[in-house]
Amino acid sequence: MSWVSWPWPALYGGLQDFPSFQCSESGALCSHAIWTSTSVSHFPDNPLGEWRWRTTFLLALASAAVGMGSVWRFSYLAGVYGGAPFVLTYLLCLFLLAIPVLIAELVIGGQGRSGVVESVGRVVERSALSRIWLLWPWLACLTGLLLVACYTVIAGWSLAYAADSVNGAFTAASAKDVGDYFAALLGDGVQLMPLQTGFLVVVALFLLGGVRLGLGLLVWLLVPALLAALVLLLEFSFAEGELRQAGDFLFAFQLLDFNREAGLVALSQAFYTLGIGVGTGVCFGAYAPRRVPLGRSVVAVALFDVVVAMSVGLVAFPLIFASHQLPSMGPELLFISLPYAYGNLPGGDIYSGLFFGLVSLVALGSCVAILEPLVGALMQQFRLRRFTAVVIVGALAWWLAWQGMRSLDPGEAGEWGRGVLFHGMDWLAGAVLLPLSTLLLVLLVGWGLRLRVLRRQLSREPRWIFSLWYGLVRYIAPPAALLVLVAALLLY
């Protein structure tokens, strides 16, 4: 079982670094001095570019936060593990763990004002740490590259389903017909390869546009389009689906279904939310306008992600119950259950195409956000032009996606056949590298970096918020990340 079907994607420091330490002969607290003296500082211009408006920064974070886990997994898990108790536990894990980790990435980027590797190097130097910490951004970039390869395969499926849905391929089809179509699609490299290639070409074009004309333009187009598609899909689902049954499944307070396993699943789902662990937060923090209130911005993005995830559940499950199917998640939900449900409703073909267009948009936003840190790292560390760096990164992603797609071909009987390579990349990135990357990040921020380095980027937040965030990153996030890593390795 893999991350796409299960909710996992020289250290030093001490208590003297905490905001309320004693630092004068008279015993007076000097945390206020840190607060005031570091609240204003000069930041160099980012050589890769910067956004002018805070709204662009928020939209970029939002497009990166909404991943495939929000589309095909969260709402199903909520229904299976008790409804409201699971959602509340997930929100608790989100606010106590995922949000502080994303803020930690943004702090590094905002302080470094450069690419992900260069930013980490600058904060490490200012804290007099070993340069071995520079391995972390490369690990994060590798994790992101593997995830993009998996996302590209899924995007190819989604584009094929979008086109065939509009053309009536699933009209009045049986569940077996849809399942046979999906099985045949997995082995149809002639159809999938152009779709995957076209998808990555679009990703590359936005990366070539740079920080403003590429990323900035994408997020201003993508997020409104995503919201508009959700509104139309919700309207259709409410009109044609079993809304009451879906509401009971998603939101009922079923304590009997909530257990320790549900708590671990909620924790893992929170860790695979908001795009943490792949360097995107560092990258976007470096591109953000100066003096952005990071804490409030991340909370707003987290709430947006939750709303989108629950909205997708309300799009899918009323139709699933209306077509008398059992709830499911992952590829089975997206590529078998939902096409069957849409195909047997009047006008469903158009809305099925719209839904898979939405999935493709989610994959596009995630892939551009995930690959940008690697592009910037290659530009700065190897002195490459953006065009050259994008071509290299795009070629690597294309080759990995192609190999992953080939391994899923039912007729592929080689060593990497039967999905071994695809699921191997999936497992390595999601179950191993992502929690490992997150663990190293929180150890660096919570136990390595000096307080004044961290405080400069959170100068617009109240003192108690900084102390709360620092305590969570220092004491709560490391064991939580380790728990997710160990659970993933032992159970799957």
Question: Dihedral angle at the C-alpha atoms of 64, 67, 71, 73, nearest 10 degrees?
Answer: -140
Give the pLDDT score at 49.
87
Rounded Cα distance between 50 and 350, Å, is: 39
CB-based burial label for 28 (10 Å; 0-12, 13-18, 19+): exposed
CB 137 within 8 A of CB 385: no
What is the pLDDT at residue 25? 34
8 Å CB contact between 223 and 63: yes
- Burial label, 25 (beta-carbon count in 10 A; 0-12, 13-18, 19+): exposed
What pLDDT shows up at residue 43? 53
Residue ranges of domains in the chain: 42-491
N-terminal to C-terminal alpha carbon distance within the chain? 6
User: What's the pTM?
Assistant: 0.88
pLDDT at 131: 93
CB atoms within 10 A of CB 263: 17
H/E stretch holding 166 reads helix 135-166
Residue 467's pLDDT is what?
A: 93
**pLDDT on residue 44:** 62
* Closest among 4, 5, 9, 2 to 270, alpha carbons compared: 9
Report the pLDDT value the prediction gives residue 53, as an integer from 0 to 100: 92
Sign of the torsion angle spanned by Cα atoms 150, 153, 155, 157: negative
Local structure of residue 243 (DSSP, 8 states):
H
Task: Say whether domain 42-491 belongs to CATH 1.20.1740.
Answer: yes
Q: Are 138 and 72 in contact (CB under 8 A)?
A: no
Q: pLDDT averaged over consecutive 10-residue blocks of the chain (492 residues)?
A: 36 31 36 38 70 94 89 84 89 92 96 94 94 96 96 96 94 92 90 96 97 94 96 96 90 83 87 89 94 90 93 94 87 91 94 96 96 97 97 98 88 60 89 94 96 86 91 95 88 68
| Residue for token pair 């809304």 | 243
The H-assigned helical ranges of 382-476 are 386-407, 420-427, 434-447, 451-455, 463-471
